[in-house]
Structure 1
């Protein structure tokens, strides 16, 4: 069994593979690299075979999104290659840096209670700024809204070393997720109904319910292009984010009797955000939010079964950020993570 498997999921990302695979190879620190291709149509498979013969190529039968694709790929690695103690899942549009692996592995190895961890995620185009997808570690507020050290809503901080410490967080980004393989498979991997977006937050929430911790490692840095597969302006991304946020909230919210009250508040606040989209003429995003809510209602029977199972398995209460980041950000004017602590 390998100590670490570097696993890159690819869907029509040949240009990113050409740009970033050489750097991953240069800084792999001796660990095997896999490219799991989700039935790409842009020649990615032939490109990897021709240009990177040392890469272990996995051809998936269809595009199952981030969640389904990684579940299939990691099951294949476990079955056909003997598995690995840890997985790291960098997006295809991630540029790694020298020494990006060792600090995270050291943190995982010294503390067996850490299930998953992430490096600092900086912007590839603005290299001193934190990037949207995870920044320096994520959190969830009492209404299920997510935010990060280094990024709250549309405010991005410059990296001045303010988040260089190693610390526990609520969720580690799927843009470059390190995770213990035994725990990944033990909890069933990602929830494939999410397809893409927020599946890593759902996974981190489930791992914490079993008593494990999620951390950020400030001594490791990577750079992320962002939106490589699905651009942030795409209404389908809006749909997935709103729908999956509701999926995650319903499945994982503590059994405190406030679930439906929280969902009602979310419905109202999502309606307000729809009006903001409408104000700037983004009516397709408004339709995406409406579709997201109806998809959530249609999935409620299955979500309820998942919720009951998770509650029956829970070993530890999970603490969320106890206030509203919407109130803190838009009303009180607190724009950074440190201002909210």
Structure 2
């Protein structure tokens, strides 16, 4: 796509990633960006209140076009990415987990749907597992079940034999790798900070679709993902945010009879099942996490106001 064109005439892509006590992992991802063939991009690394400032380690890596932004506090996935937006100058924003490895033509492939169709607002690549590089993690999303608050990615844990190589619209984005246009931020707002961790990309996806944009799965783009590097496979914090934000997401995006059925299912089946499991296994920290997640929802009301987009380069000026 870049052949015969001056770099400054190509859309600028702002790649935004978050580091949290994982400077080595982040540098592995940055190292993989050296192979990117698209010539016009910048990288913003937001450090989310790590115990050790990663700036010097990243500078020693001599990675081109990288800006390191250090937050004194952990702002979560939404807050960290929103902070990165304020430093970004791009026409497109590519939110990429630090525990990923990119492939050479990724940025060109992600841009293609935007350039073909102005209704496309967000594009995600195919995702495979880093430690099982032939196994799919994401090839689009199934629709949400409005009665259980559940959805799942297409192709999950399947060997990639080309069965999900057809690109097209999808229902939700995958937070590990999602590119959005500037128009999305202007019309749909940005990630909602209230989620902090988990479900924020599903909430954002729902708002982007309501704003009239398509979400798109680009099968020709590919990344590899080291899943759950930041918070681990299971711990009380993960239980808390999964429990809290599943309910929070549904309260924000489902109404009427469907929401009523969800409440009956969630409080009559899902929560009792979780409490029974953590009681039998005697995991008191997990029991406390479930309780605190429910209490949080009882003390917070969903806002009907759109989420304002951070002002680009507001803090960098």
User: TM-score scaled to structure 1, two decimals?
Assistant: 0.80
Give 1:76-95 correspondences, 5 Å limit: 76-77=87-88, 83-95=89-101
Query: Is the 1:25–1:33 contact (alpha carbons within 8 Å) kept by the matching residues of 2?
Result: no
Distance 2:163 2:284 in 1: 39
Secondary structure at the counterpart of residue 91 of structure 2:
strand
- Return the offset for 1:112: 1.3
Maintained 8 Å contact 1:88/1:178? yes
One of 130, 133, 148 as aligned partner of 2:136: 130
Q: Is the 8 A contact 1:37 1:59 kept in 2?
A: yes
Q: In 2, are the aligned partners of 1:116 and 1:213 still within 8 Å (CA)?
A: yes
> Is the CA contact (8 Å cut-off) linking 2:12 and 2:42 kept in structure 1?
no
- 1: CA distance between counterparts of 2:105 and 2:207? 30
Q: 1:159 to 1:279 in 2, by over 3 A?
A: farther
Q: Partner residue of 2:31?
A: 22
Summarize deviations over 1:55-101 as a string: whole Å, max 9, x none: 12223342201101111110222xxxxx2111111111101112112
Corresponding residue number in structure 1 for 2:310: none
Report deviation, 1:280: 4.1
- Structure-2 separation of matches of 1:117 and 1:278: 41
- In structure 2, what is the Cα distance between the partners aligned to 1:283 and 1:296? 20
TM-score, normalising length: structure 2: 0.86
Count of residue pairs brought into register by the alignment: 292
**2:281, 2:116 → 1: CA distance?**
50
User: Do the aligned residues in 2 keep the contact of 1:194 with 1:244 (CA within 8 Å)?
Assistant: yes
Offset of 1:232 from its aligned partner? 2.2
- The equivalent of 2:81 in structure 1 is 70
- 1:35 corresponds to: 45
**CA RMSD, Structure 1 to Structure 2 (Å):** 1.9
Aligned with residue 155 of structure 2, among 133, 150, 154: 150
Give the Å deviation of 1:111: 1.3
Question: What's the counterpart of residue 48 of structure 1?
Answer: 58
CA distance in structure 2 between the partners assigned to 1:235 and 1:125 by the alignment: 25
Following superposition, the deviation at residue 167 of structure 1 comes to 1.7
Gaps of 5+ in 1: 78-82, 311-341
Instruction: Please name the residue that 1:293 is paired with.
Output: 294
1:245-284 superposed matches below 5 A: 245-253=246-254, 255-268=255-268, 269-284=270-285
Distance 1:294 1:173, change over 3 A: same
Unaligned runs of 5+ in 2: 1-7, 307-317
* Pairing partner for 1:110 from 106, 112, 116: 116
- Matched position secondary structure for 2:136: coil
8 Å CA contact 2:19–2:48 kept in 1: the answer is yes
Aligned pairs for 1:295-334 (under 5 A) are 295-300=296-301, 303=302, 306-307=303-304, 309=305
Q: Give, in whole Å, the separation in 2 of the partners of 1:84 and 1:217.
A: 20
Q: Structure 1 CA distance, aligned partners of 2:50 and 2:187?
A: 29
Q: Quote how far apart the aligned CAs of 1:281 are.
A: 4.3
Separation in structure 2 between the aligned mates of residue 271 and residue 130 of structure 1, nearest angstrom: 32
| 2:145 maps to which of 134, 141, 148 | 141
1:230 is the counterpart of 2:239: no
Distance 1:84 1:277 in 2: 46
Cα displacement (A) at 1:282: 4.0
Report which of the two has the higher share of helix.
1
